[in-house]
Each structure stands twice: as structure tokens, then as C-alpha cells.
Amino acid sequence: MDLNTLRNSFLGRLLTEPADMAAFLTDWRGKWTGRAIAVAQPDNTEGVATVMRWCHAHRVPVVPQGGNTGLSGGATPDTDGLALVLSLTRLNKVRHIDPVNNTIEVDAGVTLQQVQEAAREAGRLFPLSLAAQGSCTIGGNLATNAGGVQVLRYGNARALCLGLEVVTAEGEIWDGQRGLRKDNTGYDLRDLYIGSEGTLGVITQAVLQLFPLPASQVVAFVAVPSPAAAIALLQLAQARLGSSLTAFELMSDACIALVEKHVDAARLPLAERSDWYVLLEVSDTQGESEAGEAIEGLLEAGMEQELATDAALSSSLSQFKALWALREDISESQGAEGKTIKHDISLPISNIAGFVTQTSEALSEAFPGQRLVVFGHLGDGNLHFNLSPSPDRCGTEHVAEFLALEAPINTLVHDAVMVHQGSISAEHGLGVLRRDESARYKSPVELKLMRAIKTALDPLNLMNPGKLLP
Amino acid sequence: MDLNTLRNSFLGRLLTEPADMAAFLTDWRGKWTGRAIAVAQPDNTEGVATVMRWCHAHRVPVVPQGGNTGLSGGATPDTDGLALVLSLTRLNKVRHIDPVNNTIEVDAGVTLQQVQEAAREAGRLFPLSLAAQGSCTIGGNLATNAGGVQVLRYGNARALCLGLEVVTAEGEIWDGQRGLRKDNTGYDLRDLYIGSEGTLGVITQAVLQLFPLPASQVVAFVAVPSPAAAIALLQLAQARLGSSLTAFELMSDACIALVEKHVDAARLPLAERSDWYVLLEVSDTQGESEAGEAIEGLLEAGMEQELATDAALSSSLSQFKALWALREDISESQGAEGKTIKHDISLPISNIAGFVTQTSEALSEAFPGQRLVVFGHLGDGNLHFNLSPSPDRCGTEHVAEFLALEAPINTLVHDAVMVHQGSISAEHGLGVLRRDESARYKSPVELKLMRAIKTALDPLNLMNPGKLLP
């Protein structure tokens, strides 16, 4: 294996010095650190193909990496040091915007925020939106089928992608860069690569769907008595607002208390506290007054039915941002409070209220003194069902004790998810974090089918080995 | 191979008499007729699994069949008589409706119309809608990723499906019956089976997404000067109406003339003829007057910009149906006129006007005297770019002459589709009809990936052999 030959065979960089490689070998949260023979940063698809052919010829495992912002360890190499990290960040061109076809063609290494901005400059909306958008790349978003706050209306990353270019495990280039909304000419390779976490091939380009920019957006922060009331309010909102309902988020009072504690500007916009809150957003093709009226009508009906007790509406862009910040700052505030135990689960919406009640009780019985920090995308059935230590046990002296609970708490929560017919990874993927747990819950038939596909597309098991599948 | 052993091993019917089998051996248009050793009609998933295990053990090819309404010959056995037809029509239960989760769980053999009706009874919309809905089954819709008239807003069959149950080529049951909008726990098996035309496994159940019933629907039949104007009107409609725009269909005057000739009640609802028409539908969560106002505002703006010259709006359910009938009766009227040459193509919407102009000219130059019958789902970039003989050559004495043109006309049209970066099968699938042409246009890399998947999931090549892939 001659790394110099590889270095000279493609356009781009090949990093081999430990100091140069370090940033690529640890995930951004510092949860996983691995080793690698090198970090390759090709400048284009041809370069990716060249690197992949070299790795295939030399039986070198490959760990594809985008913005390195994943939450499941899917982009970090393992510790044996045999793999090459393939960073896609230098494939960074927005190639083409077609406002008539409502599509944008981008390289895999373009950040999500760059895609959003390019779309906006063309008078269009690219709706995928999540906390890491300034750093995460669209290739990583597709490889993990990312979600975020607008899934209710626009779907997840998979639903927003029309075409892909992929370099296969053998280093061949599959050109599936199509800007078509209908194409029934064979197996759905696109959706197979999407969400496969780099274990089947390397996404190098994508054609994404754009939408008209909404003329107005209004958000309401609503006090609700319970998750069950929140779900009934969601039904009402869907019936009254249809697809102009673009977000419907749930959070407990513990979440808002954490944000108020750790974010200076944050304050509850309501006179009285409530156990639960909903943040809902309406996007309208008409003016702000129409959107405001629609929300007001909904809230009036909701209060009449005792599904809501109070609400604050945004009437300016700064209020819109401040209300959204209460929701968006939860995750960071929970991190600032101390160690966390996180679950990214989804459930049929009809099972959520029961799940929350039963699982909260079971947790407080089995693991007393922990704080539940429950929030999420209620409209998608996706909850971040997290835990923090109780306020008096957030000091460093209690960390080990708290983290020792992680495995048994995971088992309790995920077993309950299975009973309620849900998923233990709604939008973060499996990576290494949930790989073994997921395999434990899946049926033998499903694992067999997944392994058959893995073997078919990556017979030498060189693509991100050890991720997604045990 | 003992068919009596098979007959006694599962709940359901096994037909072996030629008279009993006949209806299953010819597609509904009578385009393809094959032979089979038997037609199995199991009553449940276990029965399907039993039949599949028997076929696997005896190396008997299997042709899965739903309502037998396909347009590409995907559900008809070939003429060698070695295959077994596996009819899913006795798996016909609507299992569960969950109005809170907005999902419906159905057997594969339930007809599309039964799904629509069950949803409506629960106050919900199942939006997939197409001409064969009274006969086609949801299993077939999923196996072919069916489209139809509401794709613009709700997506095709794939986008409407959350979960599947599938019997594999070996006769194992994969339970992927999940009612989740987010689930990132492994490879997307669901979307791989959807659209695979029965060549990878047998779909036996599905969980489908439901939507709120619109409070009102209004349709407008609009005269437009050209496809380019229709596309500009589409842009305007999307900006002004957002997702309340639920259909946007294009048709040429030749289409409407055929409907007027062959359907008694049909008449152009406008004072003057136009070369092209658009039918657009608005579905609103509010009342009819809001939907009507929204359309009127759009049409006013469209006429100001010379994108539309005249329009008729529905103001009653009977008018709504009559205007839709002008669009929906095109296909049958073209059939009543005589033989047809059909193309089910999709294009980036920005390429449609150029494609239509250039390809129409090329056709009339190379094959003078044919009539173009162009209509389709403009909002999805999907055209049915069809031909009929000229009016004086519709008699039976000219049939052979016309049909001799089919292959060269297909080549001209499909070559042009490729130049314009489109697909030669937008919503009908490949079956046997487009199998070889599709393989000719696909890259070797794509064919190799598709074959690798086929071999992985159906190593003995028993699942609908000869369909989709040559």
C-alpha cells in the first residue's frame, strides 16, 4: 500500500499527519475517537472514484464523512486504524438551480445552510432544517435521511431528493442525477443509498426538490394540559389548516425551564406555567394577517375544547425567532446542564400519550431522581425522550453514577417503544450508537434481507464497516 | 411436482382448469396472453408464504397478480407455461384505520377504491386516484408505484406508504408493517419492494398514509396558448396557491375533440377552441368560496400575463365531475377511435415545452399523417405523449400499417426523452412492454446494481422472471 501513489492519483488532498487528521477522527461531541491510515479529501467525483478504486484494490475500509456532525458515530473510524476517512467537504459546488422545475443540483459536501441560501436567492424554499445546518453537509443529511422541524409538511431528506450520484464500493460512478418526480424504470436505488449511512456507497451529488417561498409565517407558543391534549390539538390543526401547518412541536415545562436557565434572553411568553407546551407554525401563500387569523381561529376552537389554556403569537420576525428559539435551544441547554441520556424515538401518533405516561411512570419507579426532558416533532410522531440528573445531582461527582444508568434506561425506554410499535431511531440513524440495540429488536428476516443487500453492493465489506449492521 | 399436495397445504383456491385460469392469463387489454401450471389464490399471508415455499422448493417461477389492470404486461405469465400465477385478490381485508395517526392498514388485494371509501368513512382522504381504481389492487399499485391525478400534492404510491408486509422469494414473511413517519433503522426495504413489479417478493399488506378530507374542491378548465404558457401558469399557481393546488393537467385540443366525439355528454365548456387546455384543481380546508376566490385570482393574474385566454370554473359537484371527465375520458376515447401508440414519459418541467415542440415536429416530418394526442400530469412533468392514425386512416384496413410504425416511433420519442433528461416510464412501470428499451437506455453501472439486488433477494430468479430486467 503506497499512500504516495494514492496521493498523486487524484485531485485534492490526502492527509496523513496525526495533527492534520485529528479533526476527522473524533465526532463533534467528542463521543467517539478512532484512527485511520489517512484522510482523503478529493475535489470531485472522479477523485472519489479514484480513492474508492484504490481502497477496493488494497482492501482498505472506507469511512465516508460529511460535516462530521452526526449523533450516532456513523462517520468516525474505529480504533484499529486500518480504515481511510473519505471526507466529502471539498465537493462543495452548487451546480444548478432550475426554478421552473423547482430543483437544485448540488455536490455532497455543500452545507445544508448553503443549499437553503442558494434556494432562497432563487426565490425558492429548501425546507430541510435542523440544528447543525451551518456545518452538516447535504451528503450526510441524505446518508442519514435527516429529519428536523419541517418534516410534517415537507418530509425528511429522502422525500426531498429526486436524484443521486453515487460512487459504488468498487469505485464505479452511478449517475442517477435525475430531476424527475416520476420515474418507474427499475429498482429504487436512490432510496436504498439514502439512509444507508455510507455502508453501501458514497453519495457525491444530489438533485433536490424546491418549493415556493411562503409569503408569511406565523408561530404560536401554546400551553396545553397534556400530551393527549396536544395530539387532539394536532388533529384539529390538520383539519383546519391542512398543509399550511408546517411545524407542530411538543415540549415539557422541564425543557423550557432549562432554556430559561441557560439562555439569557429566553423567557416563557405566557403569564402562567403549564406542564406542556406546543409550538406550531403556519406558512401561508397569502399575507401574515391570513396566517395569523388561521392560527387565532384554531386556538379559539382549541381553547373551547380545553385542548389549550393560553397562547402567544408572533407578530414580528423577532418574536417569530424568539418563540422558535425556546424550542431550538432545548438540546443545547440540556447539554449545558450536565450529562444527558438521549432517545430519538418515533411512534404512531395515536400511541404517544400512552407511551409518555406509562414510560415516565416506569422510569421514575425504576430510576428515581432523574429528570425527564421530553420534546420533539409531535406532528411526525418523533420524540426526543431524554433524561438529565435531578438538579442536585448535576455536579461532576455524580456523572459516573448517572452514566451507569444509561444502558438499563435505554433498555427500559426502547422496550417500551417496541411495545408501542415505534422505532428506536427516528432521525439520527444507527451508526455505532444504536447498531446492536437495533439488531436486537429487528426480526431475523429483516436482518437477513439487510445483510443480503449489504453483500450484494459491498461484497468485500469495505464501506463503513461496523456501522448500521453488526 | 404434485399440485394436489400444494392445493391441500394452504387456505384458498388453486385453479388448474384452463377455463378457470383464463382470466388470469391475459391482461385486461388483451395485449399479452400466457400460460401457467396453476393459479393460486391464497386467503391470507400464511397461504402466500406456503405457496412461495412450495414454488421455491420446486423451482417454479411465480407471477404475482393484483387486479390485472397493469399497462405494461407485468402481471401476465409468459408462454412457456412453467410459472404459477399468484393472485392476491382474496387477501381483501381492510384491517385497521387509525384516524389519529392518519393511517390505514390493508391487505394487498383490497381495491384502490375500497381503500378510498374506507378512508372517507373515517373522515379521511386516501389521495391515490387513477382510472382503474375500481379494479386495481393496492398491492399492484405499490408493486408498480402507481401515479395518477393527485401526485402533484400527495406524491405517488411510494410516498403514501409507511409500512409493508412482504413474502420473500424463499417464502419467509417480512413484517415491515409500521405506521411511522420517521424510522431510520436500516436499509429502506420498503421502497425497494415498492416499484419492483413483483420481481423481488410479494407484497401482502401495507400501512398507508391518510390526510384530512378537503372541505372544498374547485376545478377550472382553462384555455392556454401553448405548453410554455401552461408551465408559466403552473409556476404562478404554485406561488399563489401552494399546496392547495392538488392537480394541474395539460391536454391538447385533439384530446378534447376525441372526447367530444366518443362521449355523448362531453362538450367544451368554453366559447372558443384553443390549441391547449389546462385543468387545475384547488382543494381547500376552508369553504368553496375561498377555493373559488383563490382560483379566480390566479386566472385573473394568468390572463393579465397572457398565459390563459379563457376559463370555466366548477360551481357544483356535477360541474366539477363534468370538467374532470373531459380529462379522464381522453384515454378511453382515444381507444374508441382506433389503435394507439402510447408513451408514458416524464421530463424536468423546464424541458417540457422544448420537448413537445421539437418532438412533434420530428414526428410529423418522419411519420406524416399521424395524430398527436398529448395530455398528462403537467405538475409532475408526466406526459402521455400518444399517437392515433389520422382520421381518414382509422379503419381496420390501415391497422397493420399504423402498428408497423410503433417501434420506430417509440425509438424517436424515447431518444428525444433521453436528450431532454427524462424517463420512458413515468407511472406505468416496465413489465415486458418497456423492459428491453429501458435496459438499452440505462447505464451499465445501473443495470449491474439492479442485477446485484435481484440476485441478492431472488437468487433462483423465480420472482416474475423476464419482467422489469431483461
Q: What is the ipTM of this complex?
A: 0.97
Q: Which of A181, A382, A457 sits opposite B452 (nearest CB)?
A: A457
Q: Which of residues 396-425 of B touch A (CB under 8 A)?
A: 421-425
Q: Given an 8 Å threshold on Cβ–Cβ distance, is A144 in contact with B184?
A: yes
Q: Does A298 touch chain B (CB under 8 A)?
A: no
Distance CA A136, CA A152 (A): 21
A106 CA: distance to closest CA in chain B (Å): 16
Find the mean pLDDT for residues A328-353: 96
Q: Which of residues 22-41 of A touch B (CB under 8 A)?
A: none
pLDDT category, A286, cuts 50, 70, 90? confident
Distance CA B346, CA A248 (A): 34
Residues of chain B with CATH 3.30.70.2190: 216-331
Distance CA A159, CA A142 (A): 10
pLDDT category, A187, cuts 50, 70, 90? very high
Q: Which residue of B has its CA nearest to A436?
A: B185
pLDDT category, A285, cuts 50, 70, 90? confident
CATH of domain A3-87: 3.30.43.10
Q: Does A337 touch chain B (CB under 8 A)?
A: no
Q: Which of B182, B348, B381 sits opposite A426 (nearest CB)?
A: B182
Q: Which of residues 102-161 of B touch A (CB under 8 A)?
A: 102-103, 144-145, 147, 151, 153, 155-156, 158-159
Beta strands in B28-180 (DSSP E): 38-42, 62-65, 84-87, 94-98, 103-107, 124-125, 161-168, 173-176
B184 CA: distance to closest CA in chain A (Å): 5
User: CATH classification of B94-212, choosing from 3.40.1390.20, 3.40.50.720, 3.40.50.300, 3.30.465.10?
Assistant: 3.30.465.10
Taking CB atoms and an 8 Å cutoff, what residues of chain A touch B153? 243
Q: Does A235 touch chain B (CB under 8 A)?
A: yes
Q: Among residues A344, A335, A334, which one has the least CA distance to residue A430? A: A344
Distance CA B38, CA B82 (A): 9
User: CATH classification of A216-331, choosing from 3.20.20.100, 3.30.70.2190, 3.40.50.970, 3.30.70.260?
Assistant: 3.30.70.2190
Beta strands in A232-271 (DSSP E): 245-252
Report the first-to-last Cα separation within chain A, whole angstroms. Answer: 28
Question: What is the CB-side half-sphere exposure of residue B415 using CA atoms within 13 A?
Answer: 10
Distance CA B213, CA A239 (A): 8
Distance CA A235, CA A224 (A): 14
Q: What is the amino acid identity at position A71?
A: L
pLDDT in tens, B207-221: 999 999 999 999 999
Residue B465, pLDDT score = 96
Determine the angle formed by the axes of helices B227-241 and B352-366, rounding to 10 degrees: 160
Q: Which of A182, A349, A423 sits opposite B183 (nearest CB)?
A: A423
Residues of chain A with CATH 3.30.43.10: 3-87
pLDDT, chain A, mean: 96
Q: Does A95 touch chain B (CB under 8 A)?
A: no
Model confidence at A1: pLDDT above 80: no
Taking CB atoms and an 8 Å cutoff, what residues of chain B touch A456? 452-453, 455-456
Q: Which of A101, A187, A424 sits opposite B348 (nearest CB)?
A: A101
Q: Does B240 touch chain A (CB under 8 A)?
A: yes
Taking CB atoms and an 8 Å cutoff, what residues of chain B touch A443? 174-175
Q: Given an 8 Å threshold on Cβ–Cβ distance, is A184 in contact with B173?
A: no
Residues of chain A with CATH 3.30.70.2740: 338-429
Taking CB atoms and an 8 Å cutoff, what residues of chain B touch A457? 449, 452-453
Residue A305, pLDDT score = 98
C-alpha cell read off for A80? 484499529
Structural contact between residues B201 and B266, judged by C-beta atoms closer than 8 angstroms: no
**CATH 3.30.70.2740 is right for the domain spanning A338-429:** yes
Find the mean pLDDT for residues A352-358: 98
Structural contact between residues A214 and A267, judged by C-beta atoms closer than 8 angstroms: no
Q: Given an 8 Å threshold on Cβ–Cβ distance, is A445 in contact with B102?
A: no
Residue A139: CB atoms within 10 Å = 27
Model confidence at B1: pLDDT above 80: no
Model confidence at B235: pLDDT above 90: yes
Residue B396, pLDDT score = 87
Q: Which of B192, B238, B428 sits opposite A192 (nearest CB)?
A: B192
Distance CA B170, CA B457 (A): 9
C-alpha cell read off for A180? 424527475
With b for 16 or more beta-carbon neighbours within 10 A and e for fewer, the B375-406 pattern comes to bbbbbbbbbbbbbbbeeebbeeebeeebeebe
